[in-house]
Amino acid sequence: MKKIFIEPRQKIYDFSIFEPLKIFFGEKINEKKLSSFFKEKFKFRNSLTLSHNRLGIYLAVRALINANKNEIILSPYTIIDVVNMVICAGGKPVFVDVDFPSIAISTNEVNKKINNNTAGIIVTHYQSYCKNLPEIKIIAQKYNVKIIEDCAIAFGTKINNKFVGSDSDISVFSFNITKYISTLTGGLLVCNDDNLFLKINSYISEFKINPFLYLLTKYIKALQIKIFTSKIVFNLFSRWVIKFTLDSNLKIFKNLVRTDGEKKLINKLTRKHRIFVTNYQRKEIYIKVSKYLEKNDQKIRLENYQFYQNNLSSISKIIIHKLMINDMNGAVSFPIFYSKRDRLYKFLILNGCDVTKYFYRDCSALEIFKKFNESCINSSRACDEVILLPVYPSYSRKSIEKNIETIKIFFKNNNSNL
């Protein structure tokens, strides 16, 4: 089963080194046309293109809060900047634990924390969409609280035959380079409430920073990822660096595929957050979303997910969130949870399986958010125990089989002392 060439944990879905040429010479598309496109294809009532998903969180929270109602309920298992955006917008983050292993925000915990000061609930979709969203909507309605769906990693998935995000007060999506609609940077806000949408639009004139320098840095990062994950470079170089630096902290490689930055609390938007979106970026989103609609990627990811699920379910030591194949989840990776995660992770890397932990943190336990601390046991567990196995469409069935076999060997070898 030794494979000379192994496949990396992650690939950029859609990126060409000629991307900058499009910036200068490509056709452009305006907001109105892009909105009509999303309305027609996805039934998004009102939409607004943004430079990032996280900016959508900021705009949504800012539009929802007032002096009496400023609490925003959210899952702590997310990127640090989501929490920062709530704070920057003037909201107070209220962490609510997730269920395990679905890692969907817990209905019971929402019920406990919601009160008359709550202005919004951020519901984050993960590999699987949150099945309890309808229950949370009922609780929210009782308190006149709005829902913000964070669909950063769930664009194009469907709940009951409706595109995710089309049915809530506000939804936000990410099209950054590591997502399956991979533009250099980009996001989308969708809103079903016309008045709220007008309010959100009224903030847009504050976003004036020209994006070109920022796009250039994103382009360089994308190029790095592309090169370090290409077959030859990955096998001759990157995988060995990953292997030899397993126990060290070589930032350059650790950060290569991460989209979350430093552990830093911010309470005012930075320059990076204030950039506007060009018509070129809109065109890129338009082209890539149109392509996505013609591709079979989601189906392949789900089949790969199911294959892991069928073959790993017999290992009682690992915990799996089982999905139904006919539910149109995003399934960007296949997460497994194991109490001695770091040992298994090391074994997989040393045995030629490039897998990853996760860049989401348990934000409720971070020192920077000490002021909002809550004990969220399941979120902390998810953070400490997760390993993500690749399912991306070009990842071969052979590599999936190898991951499964190596995991089985680990548990066979260690059975006596686990």
- Least Å from the CB of residue 265 to ligand PLP: 17
CB of residue 165 to ligand PLP, shortest distance in Å:
13
| Nearest distance in Å: CB 155, ligand PLP | 11
Nearer to ligand PLP, 351 or 380 (CB): 380
**CB closer to ligand PLP out of 152 and 336:** 152
Give me the least distance between CB of 150 and ligand PLP, in Å please.
Answer: 5
Q: How far is the CB of 56 from ligand PLP (least distance, A)?
A: 8
Identity of the amino acid at 43: K
Structure tokens given for 325: 């194949």
Residue 98 per-residue DSSP state: B
Ranges of H-type helices in 89-175: 107-113, 133-142
- Local structure of residue 236 (DSSP, 8 states): I
Q: Which is nearer to ligand PLP, 140 or 153 (CB)?
A: 153
Helix (H, G, I), strand (E, B) or coil at 356: strand
In the bound state with ligand PLP, the residue whose beta carbon lies nearer, of 78 and 168, is 78
Cβ of 267: how many Cβ atoms within 10 Å?
Answer: 9
Please report how close the Cβ of residue 403 comes to ligand PLP at its closest, in angstroms.
23
Query: What span, in angstroms and rounded, lies between the C-alpha atoms of 326 and 285?
Result: 27
Rank residues 53 and 132 by Cβ distance to ligand PLP and give the closer one. 53
Q: Are strands 319-320 and 187-191 parallel, antiparallel or unpaired?
A: unpaired
Q: Closest approach of Cβ 66 to ligand PLP, in Å?
A: 24
310: which 2 tokens?
A: 């069928």
Closest CA to 87 of 273, 360, 255, 275: 273
* CB closer to ligand PLP, 149 vs 169: 149
Q: Confirm if 1 and 402 have CB atoms less than 8 A apart.
A: yes
Long-range CB pairs of 1-7, under 8 A, 24+ apart, other chains included? 1/402, 1/405, 2/352, 3/352, 3/398, 3/399, 3/402, 4/235, 5/231, 5/235, 6/234, 6/235, 6/239, 6/352, 6/353, 6/354, 6/399, 6/402, 7/234, 7/354, 7/390, 7/395, 7/396, 7/399
Pick between residue 175 and residue 286 the one whose CB is nearest to ligand PLP. 175
> Residue 124 or residue 380: which is nearer to ligand PLP going by CB?
124
CB of 123 to ligand PLP, least distance (A): 11
The first and second tokens of residue 5, run together, are: 């060439």
Report, in Å, the least distance between residue 126 CB and ligand PLP: 8
Closest CA to 9 of 243, 280, 333: 333
Is 23 or 172 the residue whose CB approaches ligand PLP more closely? 172
Interface with ligand PLP (CB under 6 A): 52-54, 78-79, 82, 124, 150, 152-153, 174, 176, 187, 259
- Sign for the CA dihedral angle at 140, 360, 52, 354 comes to negative
Give CA angle at 18 (17, 21), nearest 5°: 145
